[in-house]
Amino acid sequence: MERQSARPRRTLCFLFVLARAEAQHSVRAGWPAERRISGCFPGDMGDYPRHVQLKHKGEPDGGDGAQVVLRRLRHEEIGALAQSLAGDPTEAQLENRWREQQVGFRELLVAEVDGALVGTVSISETELLPRALHLFALEVAPPWRNRGIGASIVRQVVSEAKRRRRGRVYLEVRVDNPARRLYHRLGFRRLGEPFVNPWWRYLDDGRQERVEELSLRMVRRVTLRD
Ligand SMILES: CC(C)(COP(=O)(O)OP(=O)(O)OC[C@H]1O[C@@H](n2cnc3c(N)ncnc32)[C@H](O)[C@@H]1OP(=O)(O)O)[C@@H](O)C(=O)NCCC(=O)NCCS
140 lines ligand 1 (CB under 6 A): yes
Domain assignment of residue 226, yes or no:
no
Strands (E) across 42-161 are located at 50-53, 67-72, 107-113, 116-124, 132-140
Domain assignment of residue 65, yes or no:
yes
User: What's 71's domain CATH number?
Assistant: 3.40.630.30
Q: Whose CA is nearest to atom 29 of ligand 1?
A: 182
58 lines ligand 1 (CB under 6 A): no
Q: Whose CA is nearest to atom 47 of ligand 1?
A: 138
- Pick the atom of ligand 1 nearest to 152's CA: 12
pLDDT in tens, the chain (226 residues): 444 555 555 555 445 444 444 433 332 322 233 322 222 223 334 444 454 555 544 443 434 467 999 999 999 999 999 999 999 999 999 999 999 999 999 999 999 999 999 999 999 997 778 889 999 999 999 999 999 999 999 999 999 999 999 999 999 999 999 999 999 999 999 999 999 999 888 888 889 899 999 999 999 999 998 7
Beta bridge partner(s), residue 68: 52, 113
178 lines ligand 1 (CB under 6 A): yes
Q: In whole angstroms, what is the distance from residue 26 CA to residue 2 CA?
A: 37
Domain assignment of residue 140, yes or no:
yes
Q: In whole angstroms, what is the distance from residue 135 CA to residue 149 CA?
A: 15
Beta bridge partner(s), residue 107: 123
179 lines ligand 1 (CB under 6 A): yes
Domain assignment of residue 12, yes or no:
yes
Domain assignment of residue 143, yes or no:
yes
Domain assignment of residue 159, yes or no:
yes
Q: How far is the CA of 185 from the centre of ligand 1 (A)?
A: 11
Q: By three-state DSSP, how is residue 222 classified?
A: coil
Q: How many domains does the chain have?
A: 1
- What backbone torsions phi and psi does residue 80 show, to the nearest 5 degrees? -65, -35
Q: In whole angstroms, what is the distance from residue 120 CA to residue 136 CA?
A: 9
Q: How far is the CA of 178 from the centre of ligand 1 (A)?
A: 7
| DSSP track, 12-65 | HHHHHHHHHHHHHHHTSTT--GGG---S------TTPSEEEEPPPTTPPTT-S-
pTM: 0.77
Write the DSSP symbol of residue 131.
T
In a mutational test of the pocket of ligand 1, which residue from 140, 144, 183, 213 has the highest number of ligand atoms less than 8 Å from its CB?
140
Predicted pLDDT of residue 204: 81
| CB of 130 closer than 8 Å to CB of 17 | yes
- Pick the atom of ligand 1 nearest to 136's CA: 48
CA atoms within 13 A on the CB side of 93: 22
100 lines ligand 1 (CB under 6 A): no
| Host domain of residue 174 | 2-221
One-letter amino acid of 215: S
Domain assignment of residue 180, yes or no:
yes
137 lines ligand 1 (CB under 6 A): no
Q: By three-state DSSP, how is residue 163 classified?
A: helix
Domain assignment of residue 40, yes or no:
yes
